[in-house]
């Protein structure tokens, strides 16, 4: 075998692509081995005598040329960690290339010799690994959030158990105190204003303690629901009647926008009224320093997928992808929520209100009731205007097995009295 064909045979059997260009003749290819044919899907017969611009896209060819010129200029080997060429069939091939300047003394030509390793598989595996890693990080984050929720739920459970115990112990002494105050009030000296004032203060204090105890009992009691198919518009009408006095007194305007043909929701009427009253009274309180007090109550139906996309809502166990849900919003133009308070609003006993005005149990009880309904309650600042939005997401299906049969006409509504004006 002649020396020339030995070299050719060795080159063609190398597992790397080898090519050479003549820098003194427009960087035309003078060498193109078998592996180079494979990675570029261009046969040597087509490539030899051609330049990059005849074979590759403008961008790729410009890039190859700039590297070639730099190699010649520096007169040193250059490493290109990753370059991509697109083959005729649209496949992307990733190459790791070394380019070497070679001076052919015999002919006086300057050559650029390139050796490329096909690293497409490695790059693909790396990308796959990165995708998996991102997925893993996301799953991990979700897991941590779930864990936090479990801890929070556990915390609330313990508070609930503790509260039930305390409430039980405190209820009877309070009733006794109240009886005593009533008894004393009857026999007081009408000319002594001090005694009347002191008795009134005592009664107020006992009343307040009693309200807190009732709030605690409410919070801790794991009552089952008595749900029935309801039109949301009806319940809103009833609630507005119940808080009418408070709205008039505070000069608050209410507008109601309910989408036509809203699906039925399955609610325990009296418990749900309690939720709405709490949210509306909170809105009124938040607007105490505002001139134009306005509450907007909006309801619309959406598919759960849209809700999750737009609101980042969690999928409660009763929801299924594609389910219709009803979104009810109570929007005010009040003081909004301070940044530091956002994470604590639903904690039992968290309140920013003056003593006597709030117990800090309203939102935690409300959320508990909404969650018993398989729904979700959030409170956040409005994005464009001042004020807050309380948003409820309610399922429009009645999940089986969790609900006591409907028909409960007795309307015992537990209005948080401390929230209503005397
Ligand atoms: P309370 O009304 O007894 O304070 P809640 O649990 O109902 O208890 O509310 C907790 C706190 O959440 C309130 O003290 C208030 O700081 C905040 N909050 C509730 N609703 C709103 C609202 N619409 N705008 C601004 N802050 C609110």
What local confidence, expressed as pLDDT, does residue 416 receive? 44
Given a cut of 80, is residue 321 above it in pLDDT?
Answer: no
Lowest mean pLDDT: which of 44-58, 92-106, 202-216, 284-298?
A: 202-216
Residues 45, 37: Cα–Cα separation, whole Å: 10
**Does the Cβ of 282 fall within 6 Å of ligand 1?**
yes
**Does the Cβ of 275 fall within 6 Å of ligand 1?**
no
Given a cut of 90, is residue 299 above it in pLDDT?
Answer: yes
Binning pLDDT at 50, 70 and 90, where does residue 313 land? Answer: low
Give the range with max mean pLDDT: 151-155, 183-187, 360-364, 385-389.
385-389
Question: Given 118, 147, 165, which residue is the final one in a domain?
Answer: 118
Does this model's pTM top 0.75? My answer is no
Residues 364 and 281 in one domain: yes
**Does the Cβ of 286 fall within 6 Å of ligand 1?**
yes
**Does the Cβ of 332 fall within 6 Å of ligand 1?**
yes
More confidently predicted of 360 and 13: 13
Residues 212 and 160 in one domain: yes
Residues 181 and 254 in one domain: no
Read off the pLDDT of residues 242-289 as tens digits, 9 standing for 90 and up.
Answer: 899 889 999 999 999 999 989 999 998 888 988 999 999 999 999 999
Residues 28 and 142 in one domain: no
What local confidence, expressed as pLDDT, does residue 281 receive? 94
**Mean pLDDT within 46-58:** 93
373, 272 contact by CB (below 8 A): yes
Residues 249 and 292 in one domain: yes
Residues 268 and 389 in one domain: yes
Ligand 1 nearest atom to the CA of residue 387, by list position: 24
> What is the 250 CA–ligand 1 centroid distance (Å)?
17
> What is the 149 CA–ligand 1 centroid distance (Å)?
21
Residues 73 and 156 in one domain: no
What local confidence, expressed as pLDDT, does residue 320 receive? 66
Given a cut of 70, is residue 215 above it in pLDDT?
Answer: yes
Domain of 18, in residue numbers? 2-118
What local confidence, expressed as pLDDT, does residue 415 receive? 40
**Does the Cβ of 215 fall within 6 Å of ligand 1?**
no
Lowest mean pLDDT: which of 26-40, 151-165, 177-191?
A: 151-165
Contacts for 101 with CB less than 8 Å, ≥ 6 apart: 23, 71, 72, 74, 75, 76, 77, 110, 111, 112, 113
**Mean pLDDT within 158-171:** 75
Residues 210 and 234 in one domain: no
More confidently predicted of 311 and 133: 133
**Does the Cβ of 374 fall within 6 Å of ligand 1?**
no
What local confidence, expressed as pLDDT, does residue 409 receive? 32
> What is the 346 CA–ligand 1 centroid distance (Å)?
9
Residues 290 and 393 in one domain: yes
> What is the 352 CA–ligand 1 centroid distance (Å)?
7
Read off the pLDDT of residues 366-415 as tens digits, 9 standing for 90 and up.
Answer: 998 898 888 899 999 998 889 999 999 998 887 643 433 333 333 333 34
Residues 261 and 343 in one domain: yes
Lowest mean pLDDT: which of 75-79, 103-107, 402-406?
A: 402-406
Question: Mutual orientation of helices 362-372 and 193-220 as an angle, nearest 10°?
Answer: 30
What local confidence, expressed as pLDDT, does residue 408 receive? 32
**Alpha carbon nearest to ligand 1 atom 14, residue:** 351
What local confidence, expressed as pLDDT, does residue 316 receive? 55
Question: Given 224, 258, 283, which residue is the final one in a domain?
Answer: 224
Q: Ligand 1: which of 159, 216, 282 to mutate, judged by most atoms within 8 Å of the beta carbon?
A: 282
What local confidence, expressed as pLDDT, does residue 7 receive? 86
Question: Given 198, 224, 250, which residue is the final one in a domain?
Answer: 224
Long-range contacts of 252-255 (CB under 8 A, 24+ apart): 252/283, 252/284, 252/287, 252/293, 252/294, 252/295, 253/292, 253/293, 253/294, 253/295, 254/294, 254/295, 254/296, 254/297, 255/294, 255/295, 255/296, 255/297
Lowest mean pLDDT: which of 110-114, 306-310, 360-364?
A: 306-310
Residues 304, 323: Cα–Cα separation, whole Å: 5
Residues 22, 51: Cα–Cα separation, whole Å: 9
Q: How is 372-386 classified by DSSP, letter by letter?
A: HTT-EEEEEE-SSSS
> What is the 131 CA–ligand 1 centroid distance (Å)?
42
Residues 277 and 351 in one domain: yes
**Does the Cβ of 416 fall within 6 Å of ligand 1?**
no
Read off the pLDDT of residues 175-213 as tens digits, 9 standing for 90 and up.
Answer: 888 888 888 877 777 777 778 788 888 888 888 788 777
More confidently predicted of 34 and 416: 34
In CATH, what number is assigned to the domain containing residue 255?
Answer: 3.30.565.10
Binning pLDDT at 50, 70 and 90, where does residue 219 land? Answer: low
In CATH, what number is assigned to the domain containing residue 28?
Answer: 3.30.450.20
> What is the 345 CA–ligand 1 centroid distance (Å)?
7
What local confidence, expressed as pLDDT, does residue 319 receive? 60
* Tally of structural domains, the chain: 3
Query: Mean of the per-residue pLDDT values for the chain?
Result: 84
Q: Ligand 1: which of 342, 363, 367 to mutate, judged by most atoms within 8 Å of the beta carbon?
A: 363
**Alpha carbon nearest to ligand 1 atom 2, residue:** 358
How are the residues of the chain apportioned to helix, strand and coil, as percentages rounded to the nearest 5?
Answer: 50, 20, 30
Residues 127 and 99 in one domain: no
Given a cut of 90, is residue 224 above it in pLDDT?
Answer: no
């Amino acid at each position: 075998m002649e020396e020339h064909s030995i070299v050719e045979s060795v080159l063609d059997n190398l597992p790397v692509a080898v090519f050479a260009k003549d820098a003194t003749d427009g960087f035309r290819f003078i060498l193109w081995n078998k592996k180079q044919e494979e990675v570029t899907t261009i046969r040597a017969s087509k490539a030899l005598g051609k330049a990059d611009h005849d074979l590759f896209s403008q961008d790729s060819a410009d890039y190859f040329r700039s590297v070639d010129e730099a190699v010649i200029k520096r007169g040193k080997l250059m490493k290109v960690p990753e370059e991509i060429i697109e083959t005729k069939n649209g496949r992307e091939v990733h190459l790791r290339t070394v380019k070497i300047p070679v001076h052919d003394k015999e002919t006086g030509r300057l050559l650029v010799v390139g050796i490329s390793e096909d690293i497409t598989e490695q790059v693909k595996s790396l990308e796959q690994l990165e995708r998996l890693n991102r997925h893993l990080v996301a799953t991990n984050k979700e897991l941590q959030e779930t864990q936090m929720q479990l801890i929070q739920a556990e915390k609330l459970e313990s508070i609930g158990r503790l509260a039930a115990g305390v409430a039980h112990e405190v209820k009877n002494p309070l009733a006794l105190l109240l009886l005593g105050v009533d008894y004393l009030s009857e026999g007081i000296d009408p000319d002594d204003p001090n005694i009347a004032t002191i008795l009134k203060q005592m009664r107020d204090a006992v009343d307040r303690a009693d309200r807190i105890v009732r709030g605690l009992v409410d919070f801790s009691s794991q009552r089952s629901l008595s749900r029935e198919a309801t039109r949301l518009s009806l319940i809103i009408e009833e609630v507005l009647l119940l808080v009418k006095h408070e709205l008039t007194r505070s000069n608050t305007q209410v507008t109601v926008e309910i989408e036509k043909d809203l699906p039925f929701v399955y609610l325990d009427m009296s418990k749900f009224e309690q939720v709405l009253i709490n949210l509306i009274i909170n809105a009124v309180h938040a607007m105490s320093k505002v001139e134009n007090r306005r509450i907007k109550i909006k309801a619309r139906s959406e598919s759960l997928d849209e809700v999750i996309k737009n609101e980042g809502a969690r999928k409660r166990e009763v929801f299924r992808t594609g389910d219709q849900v009803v979104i009810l919003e109570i929007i005010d133009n009040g003081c909004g929520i301070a940044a530091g308070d956002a994470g604590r609003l639903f904690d039992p006993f968290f309140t920013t209100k003056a003593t006597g005005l709030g117990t800090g149990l309203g939102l935690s009880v409300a959320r508990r009731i909404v969650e018993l309904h398989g729904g979700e309650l959030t409170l956040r600042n409005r994005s464009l205007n001042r004020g807050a939005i309380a948003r409820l997401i309610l399922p429009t299906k009645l999940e089986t097995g969790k609900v006591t049969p409907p028909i409960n006409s007795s309307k015992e509504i537990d209005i948080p009295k401390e929230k209503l004006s005397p």
